[in-house]
Amino acid sequence: MISRAPLIKWQFAELVELVRETPRVSSLYFNIPGWPGHLAGQHVDVRLTAEDGYQTERSYSIASPPEDRWVALTVERLEDGEVSPYLVGELKVGDKVELRGPIGGYFVWRAGEDRPLLLVAGGSGVVPLMAMLRHRATASHKAPARLLYSSRTLADVIYREEIDRLVTANDGLAVYHTLTREKPKDWIGYTRRIDAAMVQEVAWPKMQQPAVFVCGPTPFVEAAADLLVGLDYEAQRIKTERFGATGGVGG
């Protein structure tokens, strides 16, 4: 993840809503008094403290756009994790957790740019990219955008219905899904891991100088970035955010 900002103070955030996204993933909406606002793509740290004083913390990308009233975190439950099982399985509306943020200034996108937007996501790496798409949806000027989203199965596609609604707005957003493990009978998307042919079909031509964001597990991010460089994209213009091998932001 992006380097931490130790000067940001811890504060309590109250859970006001919990939405199940997939069997393993939920979105948690928090009320954070005095929240300073954030940019699409930033993240927060969450800290849990046990009764014996043991503390553990994880970083989670912010899923909500800057315009929203609540701060949303979308969390994938990792069975061997220390934090995600509590957030997804035990936290209830009205409960509070310690949180600090927003953190990060590199992997961010601001609406109003004329450059096309190219987003490449693997698994729960779609979370900060969804914040960007939600931010884009509220803007008066919408840059053309493309999302390439790799998931294990259709049931694992996070925000599936909302993504479909964003596409039907016909405002310049195109979404390309690929499923790597199993597909429904009527599936018309890709059915393999991302490769050169897929990226070439989806990516904007280099001459259009798109803003590029890639997020997901480390092997996925490295593969996607290498494929884009193979299309003559400049490596320094490809902004990446890498998660653990499981694809989860935290644990």
Residues 124-172 pLDDT 10s: 999 999 999 999 999 998 999 999 999 999 999 999 999 999 999 999 9
The CATH code of the domain that includes 216 is: 3.40.50.80
**Residue 251: its pLDDT value, please?**
52
- Contact, 73 vs 44, CB < 8 A? yes
The predicted model gives 40-54 an average pLDDT of 92
Residue 218: per-residue pLDDT: 95
pLDDT value for 206: 86
In a shared domain, residues 152 and 46: no
Query: CB 197: neighbour CB atoms within 10 A?
Result: 11
Residue-level pLDDT at 53: 85
Q: How confident is the model at residue 8 (pLDDT cuts 50, 70, 90)?
A: confident
Say which residue, 113 or 16, is predicted with more confidence: 16
What integer pLDDT is reported at residue 247 of this predicted model? 35
- Residue 249's pLDDT is what? 47
| Domain end marker among 72, 103, 134 | 103
Task: Tell whether the model's pLDDT for residue 244 goes beyond 80.
Answer: no
Average pLDDT rounded to a whole number, residues 74-88: 91
For 28-47, give the DSSP string: EEEE-TT-----BT-EEEEE
* pLDDT band, residue 200 (cuts 50/70/90): very high
Domain range spanning residue 127?
A: 117-243
Indicate the burial class of 47 (C-beta count within 10 angstroms; 0-12, 13-18, 19 or more).
Answer: middle
Q: Residue 166: inside a domain, yes or no?
A: yes
Q: What is the pLDDT of residue 148?
A: 98
pLDDT of residue 6 exceeding 80, the answer is no
Q: What percent of the chain clears pLDDT 70, i.e. is strictly above it? A: 94
Same domain, 137 and 185: yes
Specify the CATH number for the domain of residue 25: 2.40.30.10
* pLDDT exceeds cutoff 90 at 14: yes
- List of E strands, the chain: 11-22, 25-31, 43-49, 55-61, 71-76, 96-103, 117-122, 145-151, 173-179, 211-217, 238-243
Is residue 2 over pLDDT 70? no
Averaged over 23-51, what is the pLDDT? 95
Higher confidence at residue 139 or residue 246? 139
Query: Is residue 3 in some structural domain?
Result: no
What pLDDT is recorded for position 50? 85
Q: Are 148 and 173 part of one and the same domain?
A: yes
In a domain, 2, yes or no: no
Instruction: Report whether 150 contacts 181 (CB < 8 A).
Output: no
User: Encoding tokens for residue 60?
Assistant: 């989670």
Nearest to 139 by CA among 41, 210, 66: 66
Residue that finishes a domain, picked among 71, 103, 135 = 103
3-class DSSP state for residue 208? helix
CA–CA separation, 87 and 93 (whole Å): 11
- Give me the mean pLDDT over the 18-23 stretch: 95
